[in-house]
Amino acid sequence: MTIRFDGQVAIVTGAGGGLGREHALALAARGARVVVNDLGGARDGSGGSATAAEAVVAEIAAAGGEAMANVASVTDAAAVEAMVAEVMARWGRVDILVNNAGILRDKSFAKMELADFQLVMDVHLMGAVHCTKAVWEIMRAQNYGRIVMTTSSSGLFGNFGQANYGAAKMALVGLMQTLAIEGAKNDIRVNALAPTAHTRMTEDLQGLPLEALGPDLVTPGLLHLVSRDAPTRAILAAGAGGFERAYVTLTQGDFAVGPDAPEQVAARFDAISDRTNEIVPEMGAAQGMIELTKAQKHHSS
């Protein structure tokens, strides 16, 4: 049951360092031809250089693998499309896309400039959209594809000073949920990875045992999510060698109508919040079905 990627082509964005570099190296070591995409900018997204991507390509080549560097900004849809066209001309297919590129512009919401909010959304969310859109029809034609969105506990659960980052990261979960549904008939499996790792993105954090949070300890989870036997619509958390699943769930709730419905909601909020028999919906319509079932039960009683 060894996971291999022989004959497959993988694109990894933000692969010039940190998690992306580990992902690229591991995919190459297991047989994939890898596109190492990295703008080469600073942690806040400023600047750019091919040095980081080319260094990872050199590492892969030195280990006997095959890779190509690309410095397209994921915020530039035309540049991303050109990257994918180059990959197709060279290798003829794209099997795996790892949307890993990201930046930070942390501040409390009160102090955050809207431009910093927009840029983080553009890189994380729209960057993933651009890359996914560029490979989507290729994967549909192949009847095969594996895509991973890099989400975060900051998006799933919140984190002070990261309203922009958290919003983008939770948006990627919504994107993953829908694309997994739409891609199922063509065996395009789409998942989300929520990593905890010591990279330049976390170098300012206090109180974490950073020596135990190597990015290489996250990559095994990524390899499963892009393998032939990958799940789909999974949110996999990973860090320090630990792996967990996160879920978006829906409670069974309660019913309230009439002039005092707001007061009923307030009075029954604990019952509405009760997680007994909660579900992980197969699609968004599940909410409406639960609500209509309660309404029908009320009107037939």
Rounded to the nearest angstrom, the gap between the alpha carbon of residue 179 and the centroid of all alpha carbons in its chain is 12
The length of the chain is 301
Residue 181 has pLDDT above 60, yes or no: yes
Q: How far is CA 197 from CA 44, 217, 218, 238, in A?
A: 18, 8, 7, 8
| Confidence at residue 45, expressed as pLDDT on a 0 to 100 scale | 59
Instruction: Tell me which residue has tokens 């980081």.
Output: 52
pLDDT band at 198; cut points 50, 70, 90: confident
pLDDT band at 40; cut points 50, 70, 90: confident
φ/ψ of 220, rounded to 5, equals -55, -35
pLDDT band at 203; cut points 50, 70, 90: low
Give per-residue pLDDT as tens, 219-250: 999 999 999 999 999 999 999 999 999 999 99
Cβ neighbours for 267, distance < 8 A, ≥ 6 positions apart: none
The stretch 194-212 carries a mean pLDDT of 67
pLDDT band at 1; cut points 50, 70, 90: confident
Residue 161 has pLDDT above 80, yes or no: yes
Give per-residue pLDDT as tens, 127-152: 999 999 999 999 999 999 999 999 99
pLDDT band at 207; cut points 50, 70, 90: low
Cite the active site residues. Answer: 165
Residue 201 has pLDDT above 90, yes or no: no
The stretch 97-119 carries a mean pLDDT of 97
| Confidence at residue 41, expressed as pLDDT on a 0 to 100 scale | 65
| Confidence at residue 226, expressed as pLDDT on a 0 to 100 scale | 99
User: What whole-number percentage of the chain has pLDDT above 90?
Assistant: 90
Q: Which residues pair with 107 in a beta bridge?
A: 162
DSSP string, 145-186: EEEEEE--HHHHH--TTBHHHHHHHHHHHHHHHHHHHHHGGG
The stretch 120-124 carries a mean pLDDT of 98
Give per-residue pLDDT as tens, 55-80: 999 999 999 999 999 999 999 999 99
